[in-house]
Chain A
Amino acid sequence: MADLTQSSTLQTSVSTPLRPRIKLRHVVDHAILIAGAFLMLFPVVLVLMTTSFEDADIVKHGLQLGFEGKMLENFEAAMFEASGFTKTITGTRMLMNSMILGLGFAIGKIVISMMAAYAIVYFRLRFATLAFWIIFTTLLLPLEVRILPSYEAIQSLGLANTYTGLIVPLIASATGTFFFRQFFRSIPEELVEAARIDGAGPVKFFIDIIIPLSRTMIAAIFIIMFVYGWNQYLWPTLITTDEGMFTLVRGIKQIVQVLSQTGAMIPEYGKALALSLIAMIPPVLIVIFFQSWFVKGLTESDK
C-alpha cells in the first residue's frame, strides 16, 4: 500500500502536466505489484470457483478451476442450513458469535490497555514502572502457555460456553498497554497542565483529551486486535462445547468433520469453503473501513 501511494506521487511529481511520460521504473514497479496482487488473490479465487462444484467432484479432483452451478446453493447452505452433530447452528449464528468475539476482544483489549497505560503514565504510583514491566513480561506468556490454568479457572467459575468466558480471558493486553503507554508519554506535559488548570479531573481528562487524541492509535489497535480475535481458534475450541456458541473459524472445522446426510457420506466441502470465504469478509471490511479513518486521523491531527 505504502509503495503504491509513493510510486503514484512520484509519478505525478516527475511527469510534466501536458504529456505524462511513462518511465520504465514505474512499469516495473507496477508489474511487481500486480503480480503480487494476483499471487495473493489466486487462492481466494480458486476457493471461490471450487464452491461452485459438487462435493463429490471436490473429493475426487480437489480444488477446481471453472464454474459449475452449485455456488449459490453452497453459500445458502453455509449461511442458513443448520449443521453440526446437533443440527442447531447455522452460518449466520456462527458469524454472529465470531462478531461478538472479535468486537468484544478488540474493544475489551483497547479499554483495558488504555486504562492500564493511563494509570501507569499519569498517576504517581509508587511502583508504576515495576507494574509496567510486570505487564510487559506477560508478553512472554502467550495464551497457549497459560491455557490450562485459564481453562480451569473459567470452567470452575461456570463460564464455559458463555461469551464472558470466551472473551474475558483473552483481553488483558501487554502489547496494547505498551503502545498506549508510549503514545501517552509523547503527549506534551503542558497539555496535561493546561487541562489541570482548566479544571479537568482525571476522568474528564481521560474522556475529553486522551481519548480524542488517541483516535488514530485506537483505530490501529482495533484493526489488529479485531482480526486477531476473529481468527482465534484454540481458546474457542476449548471453552465452547455447546455448538450454539461456535465461532466461524471453529465451525468450519466442524462442518468438514460431520459427514453429509445426503447419503453419499462425504464431507460438505463446498459448504465449508463457502463459509471460509464468508469468514474472510468482516476482517477485510474492518481493515478497509478503519484504514481510511486511520489515515485521515494521521494527516489531520497534530499533537
Chain B
Amino acid sequence: MAQVTLDRVRKTYPNGHEAVQPCTVEIPDGELVVLVGPSGCGKSTLLRMIAGLEDITEGSLSIGPDVVNHKDPADRNIAMVFQNYALYPHMTVAKNMGYGLKNRGASKAEIDQKVAEAARILNLGDYLDRRPSQLSGGQRQRVAMGRAIVRDPELFLFDEPLSNLDAKLRNQMRIEIRALQQRLGVTSVYVTHDQVEAMTMADRIIVLNGGRVEQIGTPSEIYERPASTFVAGFMGAPPMNLMQARVLNGAVQLDGTTKLTLAPPAVATDTVLVGFRPEDVRLGGDGSAVLEVAIVEELGAHRLLHGTLGGQSFSISVGKDETAQVGPQPITLPQDRVHFFHPERGTRL
C-alpha cells in the first residue's frame, strides 16, 4: 500500500496540446480517488501518467517514498483495469490472471495459489479454463479485476472500467469494486465521466475541466460547496440552477419584477450568479418567487418541474406526492441552500 503524490504534474503532448495543467494532489494510503470530468478533459492522460504509459512533461510523481517519473510501468507495482478489459484473447482466464506473476518469476505453485484465491474472491472459479471470448461482459470485467488483484499491487488504476456494461450490471459492479477495494485497502485512482459513480464510490473526487483541476474534495464537499459553476453544473442530475442576478440595495434581483428574499453575498459585486439545486427548492411560499412551470417530467420516485423563474430557466424536483401541474407555482428558495458565484470567473463567492 502506498501514498501517491503528484507535484505540479503537467502533460503537453508532442503536438503541443496541453492535456493536463500543473496538478498537485496527495492521495493518502488506502484512499479511492475518483477523477471525473467531461470527455477530453485529461482524465485518462493523468491516469496514464501515473501508470507510466505516458511520459510526464513536468513535475514529479511519487508512489510510496520514491519518485517514479522514469520508472517502467512494470516496476511501479501498479495494476490497471482498462475500459475494454484488454484481456489476452488467446489465454485462458487463469493464464490471463497469472501472466503478470509469471513475468515476475513467481513459481508455478505460487501463481496457482494466488489465481485460485483471486478467483474465489471474484466468483470466477468455474471459468478458469475459459477464454475471454467465452465470457459475458461482466465476467470479463471480473477477470480484469482478478488480473489486477493477483499481483498485490500498491496502487489500482481504473480507466472507466464499467462503461461497457449495462446499467444494472454497472450498479452491481460499482458496489463490488468499492467493497473489494476497501477490503484490500489498496490505494486507487478511478477515472469516470459518470458523476453518480464518482459520488458513490469516492473517498475524494477530483473534478477536471479542460486539463485543469477545478476542485478536490469529498463527495459531500463537492456537492454541498461546489468551487465553481462548472462543478456545480457537472455534479448533480439535474444540474444546479444558475441565474444571473443583480445586487441592488442589499437585495438580489433577477429582473425588474422578481426580487429574491436572500441576503446577498458578503463580497461586494453588482452582478452575481445565484445557484440552487433543484431538490433544495420547495413548492409553495409567499409568492415572492413564482415558477412558470412549462413541463412536468415524471420519474417515478419524484417529478421534475421545468420552467422559468424571472425569465430564466429553472428546474425543481418535488416528491411524487406533491401536486405538480403546468402554470405558475409559488416556490420557496431557502437562504441556507443558496450558492453564489462570480459572474465572470464562475468561482464561488
Contact = CB atoms under 8 A, between A and B. Distances in A.
In the complex, which range does the number of interface residues on chain B fall in? Answer: 20 to 34
B103 A198 contact: yes
Given A204-B103, A301-B133, A213 B90 contact: yes
Interface string B73-89: 11000111011101111
Contacts, number: 63
A199 B103 contact: yes
B104 interface: yes
B90 A301 contact: yes
Contacts of A195: 88, 99
Contacts of B78: 197
A189 to B, nearest CB: 9
B88 to A, nearest CB: 6
A190 B90 contact: no
Contacts of A19: none
A300 B132 CA distance: 11
Q: For the complex, would chain A's binding face be called helix, strand, loop or mixed by DSSP majority?
A: helix
Contacts of A212: 90
B90 A199 contact: no
Nearest to A190: B86
Nearest to A208: B99
Contacts of A204: 103
A193 B100 CA distance: 12
B295 interface: no
Contacts of A197: 51, 53, 73-74, 78-80, 100
A188 B219 CA distance: 34
Contacts of B86: 188, 190-191, 193-194
A302 B134 CA distance: 10
A200 interface: yes
A301 B91 CA distance: 10
Contacts of B82: 190, 193-194
A190 B104 CA distance: 20
A196 B74 contact: yes
A196 B53 contact: yes
Interface in A62-103: none
Interface string B34-77: 00000000000000000101000000000000000000111000
A200 B147 CA distance: 14
Interface string B95-133: 000011001100000000000000000000000000101
A209 B102 CA distance: 14
A199 B88 contact: no
Nearest to A194: B86
A303 interface: yes
Nearest to B105: A199
A198 B100 contact: yes
B72 to A, nearest CB: 8
A213 B99 CA distance: 16
A174 B253 CA distance: 75
B107 to A, nearest CB: 16
Interface in A249-269: none
Interface of B: 51, 53, 72-74, 78-80, 82-84, 86-90, 99-100, 103-104, 131, 133, 147
A-B complex: 3 closest residue pairs judged by Cβ atoms: A199-B74, A190-B86, A198-B100
20 contacts: A193-B51, A193-B53, A193-B80, A193-B82, A195-B88, A196-B72, A197-B51, A197-B79, A197-B80, A198-B99, A198-B100, A199-B104, A204-B103, A208-B99, A212-B90, A215-B90, A300-B133, A301-B131, A301-B133, A302-B133
